[in-house]
Amino acid sequence: MRSIKEQILSGIFFTSIAKYANLIVSLGVTAVLARLLAPEQFGIVAIAMVSITFLNLVSDIGLFPAVIQFKTLRKTDLSKLFSLSCYIGLGLSLMLLISASIIATYYNQAQLRPVLQLLSIHLFFTTISVVPNALFYRKRMFKFIAVRSFVIQVLGGTIALIFAYFGAGVYALLINPILSSILMFLVSYLRFPLHFQFKFSILPLRYVFRYSVFQFLFNIINYFSRNADTLLVGKYIGMTSLGYYDKAYQLMSLPLQNITQVITPVIHPILSMYTGDHNKLILANEQMIRLLALIGFPLSVFCFFSAEQLVLVLFGPQWIQAVPSFRILSMSIGIQLILSSSGSIFQSIGNTKYLFVCGLFSAVLNVSGILLGIFYYESIVAVATCLVITFSINFLFTYLLMYTILFKIKIWRFLKLLIKPILFSLVLSIFLYLLSIFNAELVWMQLVMNMIFFIVSFLVFVWFGGYRDLINQFLRRR
């Protein structure tokens, strides 16, 4: 049997191929759509997707990680969970259809109603995909997941561009999520067909829900923590401002999503096999922290000093007002990247209660910061600044709790892992600042200069900074 490190690296390899290929496709599609559609249209879809995201969390009720965690679930048990998700999906989709008019009236956006009604299709298929999709991860079929994800992304993005080109407007932004959810369900169900039961009892599966309840509560709390800014900015500052803010947040999230979604889906399925061995969990956790800190902090500096060039090259000059918010939000990339792996550790230990505690603490902090930015300072830049501060506080709290209470070791052991990447990032920021003084005539040329300097500096740091072991381990597995 392969070691825990080998399994993680192998899973990361296949997942990373799909995610980085998807990143290229996503950036290409977004760049074109940003030139074909107005900021207000992106703002409308941003509000709609926040509503859908919340209902998706309700529909999951913590089943996805539970299916991965409990290897003893039989096919009959899985069929009961699948049947439950079908009823939940149908109920929530009907609820969204009915409430679409109320939400549109609240935001005074008539176009929001048909957008939400169409997205009820996405909600239904996403909900009924939870159990069969989780089985791919439980069986660690990362290569298949990678291929599936890439094919669906390319197909959905291509059709969205065609619709946008022929004047579909805001509806072009709905093609990808709706089509992706349908195809995801079909592929998952064909690979793991589960029997739908009109009548069933979930009483024998109470132990699953005892585990999933805190995961579910964490998901709900985390939702409001992560989406209160979108909901409140759209209502109190305006849809156009929300369009700029949402684009800034999306751009900041691109490296987070395409790195964390490479690593975190791999960690829990593999570490769940070692639930009783804290030493292996601590070792794997610190390997992840080293890797994420190595990537995250320097990347945060690069995005900060290349903010204007990235926005202009990717989205065009009409999105220049998104630059200040993006520049500030990019300061949180490093800490958010590291923090993203913490949930998998809590899940693998089987202690979702502390995961909920961290989520609750984060929610109170983030929402307080958002309210301060909106109602006191009344600007999206202030909202971004407050969020960076609250993300930082939550980062320290989460790892203090994890190390001192769960692992029962000193927090200094964690902090030592961050020293080298932070020092390198400070040096990198000085040189990127000096490089920014000599502005190139063309925006894309300045971006290329920054990228070349960043990549060369990063490789030098990896080679001489004591990180060759991480890279060599990864390459040997290939």
Q: What is the pLDDT of residues 136-157, one digit of tens each?
A: 777 767 677 777 777 887 888 8
**CA–CA gap between residue 88 and residue 48 (Å, rounded):** 20
- Nearest C-alpha neighbor of 327 from the set 343, 342, 309: 309
- Highest mean pLDDT among 35-44, 271-280, 316-325 belongs to 316-325
Question: Is there a contact between 270 and 140 (Cβ–Cβ < 8 Å)?
Answer: yes
* 316 or 257: which leads in pLDDT: 316
**CA–CA gap between residue 22 and residue 468 (Å, rounded):** 27
- Nearest C-alpha neighbor of 224 from the set 370, 390, 103: 370
Q: What is the pLDDT of residues 71-121, one digit of tens each?
A: 677 788 888 888 888 888 899 899 888 888 888 888 788 888 888 999 899
**CA–CA gap between residue 52 and residue 96 (Å, rounded):** 9
Question: Is there a contact between 184 and 125 (Cβ–Cβ < 8 Å)?
Answer: yes
**CA–CA gap between residue 344 and residue 275 (Å, rounded):** 11
Question: Is there a contact between 263 and 292 (Cβ–Cβ < 8 Å)?
Answer: yes
- Highest mean pLDDT among 288-292, 324-328, 378-382, 457-461 belongs to 324-328
2-11, 27-36, 40-49, 420-429: which has the minimum mean pLDDT?
2-11
- Highest mean pLDDT among 186-200, 276-290, 325-339, 347-361 belongs to 325-339
Check whether 478 has a pLDDT greater than 50.
Answer: no
Check whether 447 has a pLDDT greater than 80.
Answer: yes
Question: Is there a contact between 124 and 93 (Cβ–Cβ < 8 Å)?
Answer: yes
Give residue 476's pLDDT.
47
Check whether 474 has a pLDDT greater than 50.
Answer: no
| H or E element at residue 60 | helix 39-60
- Nearest C-alpha neighbor of 130 from the set 76, 67, 174, 75: 67
- 244 confidence band (pLDDT: 50, 70, 90): confident
**CA–CA gap between residue 469 and residue 478 (Å, rounded):** 15
**Amino acid identity at 268:** H
Region 204-211: mean pLDDT is 61
pTM value?
0.65
Q: What is the pLDDT of residues 114-127, one digit of tens each?
A: 889 998 998 899 88
- 262 confidence band (pLDDT: 50, 70, 90): low
Check whether 298 has a pLDDT greater than 90.
Answer: yes
Give residue 442's pLDDT.
74
Check whether 473 has a pLDDT greater than 60.
Answer: no
Share above pLDDT 70 across residues of the chain, in percent, rounded to a whole number = 78
Check whether 477 has a pLDDT greater than 50.
Answer: no
Give residue 75's pLDDT.
80
**CA–CA gap between residue 335 and residue 402 (Å, rounded):** 15
* 199 or 185: which leads in pLDDT: 185
Check whether 304 has a pLDDT greater than 80.
Answer: yes
Provide the angle, in degrees to the nearest 10, between the axes of the packed helices 172-191 and 130-138.
60
CA-based R_g, the chain, Å: 22
Q: Name the residue ranges covered by the structural domains of the chain.
A: 4-477
Question: Is there a contact between 63 and 130 (Cβ–Cβ < 8 Å)?
Answer: yes
Handedness of CA 66, 69, 70, 74 (dihedral sign): positive
- Nearest C-alpha neighbor of 248 from the set 334, 366, 330, 333: 330
CA 160 to chain centre: 22
Check whether 10 has a pLDDT greater than 80.
Answer: no
Average pLDDT, the chain: 79
- Nearest C-alpha neighbor of 49 from the set 105, 154, 126: 126
Question: Is there a contact between 339 and 262 (Cβ–Cβ < 8 Å)?
Answer: no
Give residue 382's pLDDT.
92
Give residue 475's pLDDT.
45
Give residue 437's pLDDT.
79
Check whether 271 has a pLDDT greater than 60.
Answer: no
Check whether 389 has a pLDDT greater than 90.
Answer: yes
**DSSP states of 333-348 as a string?**
HHHHHHHTTHHHHHHH
* 400 or 26: which leads in pLDDT: 400
156 burial class (0-12, 13-18, 19+ CB within 10 angstroms)?
buried
